[in-house]
């Protein structure tokens, strides 16, 4: 998520909602990302080698990997989120995944947790970029929506009362619909799994 409202949510100063163009609103609940969540362990135990956490937010996964002795780097476009990751003892950069990322082509694992398949509103373009970041034998570990959710591209914004963030592109994609976007992005499905009512996929080049 983008902007000042997101930072305020992480700091506990606001409780914004995600607002869709059709008027739907869902709570952001950003502070849940400050600590490990049920299902996170299923991602962490699949990590080996250097791991890039894309859209790392406040860095709970990046920090957990660092505590396990794995080289890990979080990247996020929100300065406050990057600051929180560093405060947690992990490495993080203020960086868009589509910009220059250190170690491109050498990452053993690339994480897209917490629905970050939606970044940029184009999962195919995002997966193609992830493929560029991965080492030849690397894996992308991705959290997806529940089964039955087709690829849906839309624009969303954050709202807190009368305070509004800017519209930005986002996407949703169910775990049972990952195959075609993965192939279009140059990747193949290696594994699908579910844990703690969350759904995940591992993709390789």
Give the β-pairing of 168-172 and 91-94.
unpaired
Question: Contact at 8 Å (CB) between 53 and 40?
Answer: no
For residue range 90-145, list pLDDT tens digits in order: 999 999 999 999 999 999 999 999 999 999 999 999 999 999 999 999 999 999 99
Residue 1: per-residue pLDDT: 55
Question: Contact at 8 Å (CB) between 119 and 56?
Answer: no
Residue 201: per-residue pLDDT: 98
Give CA separation, 42 vs 58, 97, 141, 156, 163, in Å: 19, 23, 10, 29, 37
| Domain layout of the chain by residue ranges | 37-154+173-204
**Nearest CA-CA partner of 25 in 33, 16, 34:** 16
Residue 194: per-residue pLDDT: 98
Residue 3: per-residue pLDDT: 83
Gap between the Cα atoms of 200 and 147, Å rounded: 11
Gap between the Cα atoms of 18 and 12, Å rounded: 16
Query: What is the pTM assigned to this prediction?
Result: 0.96
Burial class for 73, CB neighbours closer than 10 Å (0-12, 13-18, 19+): buried
Gap between the Cα atoms of 84 and 34, Å rounded: 9
Return the bridge partners of 197, or none: none
3-state secondary structure of 168: strand
Gap between the Cα atoms of 103 and 93, Å rounded: 13
**CATH number for the domain formed by residue range(s) 37-154+173-204:** 3.40.50.150
Radius of gyration of the chain (CA): 16
Which helix (H) or strand (E) segment is 79 a member of? helix 79-87
For residue range 34-60, list pLDDT tens digits in order: 999 999 999 999 999 999 999 999 999
Q: Is the pLDDT of residue 2 over 90?
A: no
Tokens for 180, please give them. Answer: 């075609």
Residue 176: per-residue pLDDT: 97
Gap between the Cα atoms of 176 and 107, Å rounded: 26
The DSSP letter of residue 118 is G
């Amino acid at each position: 998520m983008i902007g000042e409202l997101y930072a305020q949510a992480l700091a506990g100063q606001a409780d914004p909602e995600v607002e869709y163009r059709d008027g739907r609103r869902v709570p952001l609940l950003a502070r849940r990302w400050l600590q490990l969540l049920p299902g996170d362990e299923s991602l962490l135990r699949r990590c080996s080698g250097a791991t890039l956490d894309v859209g790392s937010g406040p860095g709970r996964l990046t920090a957990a990997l660092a505590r396990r002795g794995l080289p890990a780097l979080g990247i996020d476009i929100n300065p406050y989120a990057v600051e929180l990751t560093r405060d947690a003892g992990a490495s993080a950069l203020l960086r868009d995944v589509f910009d220059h990322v250190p170690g491109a082509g050498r990452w053993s694992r690339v994480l897209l947790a917490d629905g970050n398949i939606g970044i940029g509103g184009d999962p195919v373009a995002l997966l193609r970029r992830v493929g560029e970041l991965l080492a030849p034998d690397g894996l992308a570990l991705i959290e997806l929506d529940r089964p039955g959710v087709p690829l849906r591209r839309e624009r969303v914004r954050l709202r807190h009362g009368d305070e509004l963030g800017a519209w930005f592109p986002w996407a949703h994609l169910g775990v049972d619909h990952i195959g075609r976007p993965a192939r279009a992005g140059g990747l193949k499905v290696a594994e699908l799994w579910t844990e703690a009512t969350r759904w995940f996929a591992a993709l390789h080049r």
